[in-house]
A and B are shown apart, each in its own frame.
Chain A
Amino acid sequence: MNYVDFVNQRIKAVTASKRLVVYGQNVSTGSCLSGLSRGFDKIPGHTVINTTNSEATLVGIGFGLMLRGVSSIFFMKQQDFLLLGIEQLSDTWNALRNRPVDASFTIAAIIVDSGWEGPQSCLNNLADITSVSRVPGFTVSNRADAEAVIDRHVHAPGVRIIGVSQRLLRTPLIEYGEPVTFGPDAGVVRYAEGGEATIVAYNLAFPQAMTLHQEFAKRGRKASLFSVSATMPESVDVILANVARTRRLAVVDDSKSVNSPACVLIAAAHARAPGLAAIEIGRHWTPDSSAPNADTLEIDVERVIDALGVTA
């Protein structure tokens, strides 16, 4: 099974017995957003609407539905379209966040994390969107984090944004290690436990972090591997405790903006374990970064090993 089909089927499975409004541009026509929103119109009790191109109002509609007790999912072809709905996310959510609601409002947005769209690929960091209004946000990139996030959050009262990777859409679903979910929000998943280093993925960088973990293993080094799917995780204590033991931290973050929750983790790790070896594997921004390009986040494994002081 590929990644997008798994996400699509998982969302349908958790919402199948519920009354739900599914809406967005072309959600039940054309490719159905590359398959992400396919088939909701076949589920009894679901109202599916192919909407106008009015993102600000479409976000407001989800809040209006929620206020009247109707759950909804707004599927969005590109996360950067959500910029047009930022006012609603910020002002409406902050006006509603303390009001009791029974219904859920989920925005499922495809994050353009490939580079061929050029300028539209520049906003690939879900945390940028969620930090504006402190709307909970979660990225999903593999079976374990998709299950944890979708099962826990899609039908829970309140609002959240789920970021789906465009790069991974048609790729085989990643299943790796022995996943264990942590945190009341299921915002952290551990895939492997090892005592020589701690590898942590942010945003949609799990494939790269997994590759790094595999490269460590090839060299006979046992590392722990985590992904932080929540943009504002309720707790990263399990990671910090792990870092305190390994004293070596590699954070892989594919975000292109300067607003990186990964930096917060690194700072917290330094506070918890002074003198630890840490490296952030991220983007090197140049003026050409906004031009269409392959946009792969490469990892120099030897440099990471050197930085962490892990001898091969």
Chain B
Amino acid sequence: MIDNQIHLAREILRLRLSQLLINERYKARDFRVPIHLALGHEALAVALAEIMRDGDQILLPHRNLHYNLARTHSLKAIVAEFLLRKTGLARGKYGSMNLFNAEQGVLYASGILGNNLSVSAGVALAEKVTGSGAVTFVVTGDGAMEEGAFYETLIFLAGQSLASVVVVENNGWSLASRIDERRAPIDVERLAQGCGAGYRKLAGNDVFVYADALEQVRGDATNGKRPVVVEVALKTLGDWRQPTEEFPDGKYINYHAGPAPTTSVAPWPLLAADASDPLHVLCGHFGEAALKAEAETMLAALRKDVA
């Protein structure tokens, strides 16, 4: 158990440092493909990757870097993909938004909001038809769930009794618009239950809590032969303030895609001293000193990997 906890903690560090290294090269204009960093999403990705079993599949949206890093233990292969090299994870043919790794169960990724939900319904149906016993995971967001595909997929999954986990990364933003700017609030729990799906809410960025909860959710989906919606409250870090004529003290810019200009790689990669940063939460388990030492060693190894 302790060994596994250390493993998960290292994974969080690896995902954070890997993204920061990518961000540095992005800022240096090394990449031409659009990349959506997922700083602050690491605990969820690590926990999900941890509880997936052999044969399980995950279908991702355009912000997929954290899951690809979690399921692919090679930053080098992902950087090569972003550089569109043949040595890339997908032979340099898919870039970022459609990046997949079928060998590791990352079956498909879509650049279009809601698109992967519909495809996941077919994957879940295939598992039922073939009797594989595998569970299909699909990741979406609070913006994509506004698409009709979210509702269509839920009623199909529930109607066909398909074991599936629908993860909603709720960061409160769709590009530059907040939820309260674009729509009425949606009670995801009632929506899910109204469609015949289960529901679980996660918050707090504790990777150990998330892993336990997602393991239970996987069991619920399998035993109940139904979809379960997991709504995860999180914050996409990397935001900044940009001074303008109208906002001389800086206009708040929510991070959506591209390089995060004010975020830099550092031996200790903490980005926020609160629960919005999974690393901060991790300090509550292991203490900052131990994690700092681990981070320093890991950063050196990652730099060497992509040198």
Q: Chain A: residues with CB nearer than 8 A to chain B?
A: 19, 21, 47, 49, 51-52, 54, 56-70, 72, 87-88, 91-92, 95-96, 98
Is B34 positioned at the interface, with any CB of A under 8 Å from its CB?
no
20 intermolecular pairs with C-beta atoms under 8 Å apart: A19-B129, A21-B129, A52-B155, A56-B148, A57-B118, A60-B117, A60-B120, A60-B149, A61-B156, A63-B119, A64-B119, A64-B121, A64-B124, A65-B123, A68-B122, A68-B123, A70-B125, A87-B115, A92-B119, A98-B93
CB pair A57 B111 closer than 8 Å: no
Of all chain B residues, which has the CB nearest A100?
B102
**Residues of B contacting A87 with CB < 8 Å?**
112, 115
The answer for the CA separation of A291 and B127 in the assembled complex, in Å, is: 46
The answer for the CA separation of A43 and B127 in the assembled complex, in Å, is: 20
The answer for the CA separation of A49 and B148 in the assembled complex, in Å, is: 21
CB pair B118 A60 closer than 8 Å: yes
Is B159 positioned at the interface, with any CB of A under 8 Å from its CB?
yes
**Residues of A contacting B129 with CB < 8 Å?**
19, 21, 47, 65, 70
The answer for the CA separation of A245 and B155 in the assembled complex, in Å, is: 58
The answer for the CA separation of A69 and B124 in the assembled complex, in Å, is: 12
Q: Chain B: residues with CB nearer than 8 A to chain A?
A: 57, 59, 93-94, 98, 107-108, 110-112, 115, 117-127, 129-130, 148-149, 152-153, 155-156, 159-160
- Tally the A-B contacts, defined by beta carbons under 8 Å: 101
The answer for the CA separation of A38 and B241 in the assembled complex, in Å, is: 62
**Residues of B contacting A57 with CB < 8 Å?**
117-118, 121, 149, 152-153, 156
- Beyond known contacts A52-B159, A72-B122, A88-B119: 11 more, CB 8 A cutoff: A51-B156, A57-B121, A60-B149, A61-B118, A61-B119, A64-B119, A68-B57, A68-B123, A68-B130, A88-B118, A92-B119
Q: Specify which of B98, B118, B125 lies most central, judged by the most chain A CB atoms within 10 Å of its CB.
A: B118
Please pick, from A47, A69, A72, A91, the residue contacting B112 in the complex, using a CB distance under 8 A.
A91
Shortest CB-to-CB span from B146 to chain A, Å, is 14
CB pair A68 B152 closer than 8 Å: no
CB pair B123 A64 closer than 8 Å: yes
Known: A51-B156, A56-B152, A95-B108. A64 touches B125 (CB 8 A): yes
The answer for the CA separation of A61 and B94 in the assembled complex, in Å, is: 22
Q: Specify which of A47, A51, A68, A87 lies most central, judged by the most chain B CB atoms within 10 Å of its CB.
A: A68
CB pair B159 A88 closer than 8 Å: no
**Residues of A contacting B152 with CB < 8 Å?**
52, 54, 56-57
CB pair B125 A60 closer than 8 Å: no
Of all chain A residues, which has the CB nearest B116?
A60
CB pair B126 A95 closer than 8 Å: no
CB pair A64 B126 closer than 8 Å: yes
Shortest CB-to-CB span from A299 to chain B, Å, is 43
Of all chain A residues, which has the CB nearest B159?
A52
**Residues of B contacting A56 with CB < 8 Å?**
118, 148-149, 152
CB pair A64 B122 closer than 8 Å: yes
The answer for the CA separation of A64 and B58 in the assembled complex, in Å, is: 11
**Residues of B contacting A95 with CB < 8 Å?**
94, 98, 108, 110-111
Of all chain B residues, which has the CB nearest A68?
B126
CB pair B156 A67 closer than 8 Å: no
Known: A57-B117, A62-B122. A70 touches B112 (CB 8 A): no
The answer for the CA separation of A156 and B133 in the assembled complex, in Å, is: 27
**Residues of B contacting A67 with CB < 8 Å?**
107-108, 119, 122-123, 126
**Residues of B contacting A19 with CB < 8 Å?**
129
The answer for the CA separation of A47 and B160 in the assembled complex, in Å, is: 12
Shortest CB-to-CB span from B296 to chain A, Å, is 39
Known: A57-B149, A65-B125. A49 touches B119 (CB 8 A): no
Shortest CB-to-CB span from B151 to chain A, Å, is 8
Please pick, from A49, A69, A72, A92, the residue contacting B110 in the complex, using a CB distance under 8 A.
A92
**Residues of B contacting A69 with CB < 8 Å?**
126, 130
**Residues of B contacting A62 with CB < 8 Å?**
122
CB pair A60 B130 closer than 8 Å: no
Shortest CB-to-CB span from B157 to chain A, Å, is 10
Going nearest first, the 8 A-B pairs with the smallest beta carbon separation are A64-B122, A60-B118, A68-B126, A61-B122, A54-B152, A57-B152, A57-B118, A64-B123
**Residues of A contacting B126 with CB < 8 Å?**
64-65, 67-70
Shortest CB-to-CB span from A230 to chain B, Å, is 26
Of all chain B residues, which has the CB nearest A96?
B108
The answer for the CA separation of A63 and B119 in the assembled complex, in Å, is: 6
The answer for the CA separation of A58 and B117 in the assembled complex, in Å, is: 11
Please pick, from B115, B127, B156, the residue contacting A54 in the complex, using a CB distance under 8 A.
B156
**Residues of A contacting B125 with CB < 8 Å?**
21, 61, 64-65, 70
The answer for the CA separation of A70 and B57 in the assembled complex, in Å, is: 15
**Residues of B contacting A96 with CB < 8 Å?**
108
**Residues of B contacting A91 with CB < 8 Å?**
110-112, 115
CB pair B156 A64 closer than 8 Å: no
Please pick, from A21, A51, A59, A66, the residue contacting B118 in the complex, using a CB distance under 8 A.
A59
CB pair A60 B111 closer than 8 Å: no
Q: Specify which of B94, B98, B115 lies most central, judged by the most chain A CB atoms within 10 Å of its CB.
A: B115
CB pair B121 A61 closer than 8 Å: yes
Shortest CB-to-CB span from B53 to chain A, Å, is 16
CB pair B156 A52 closer than 8 Å: yes
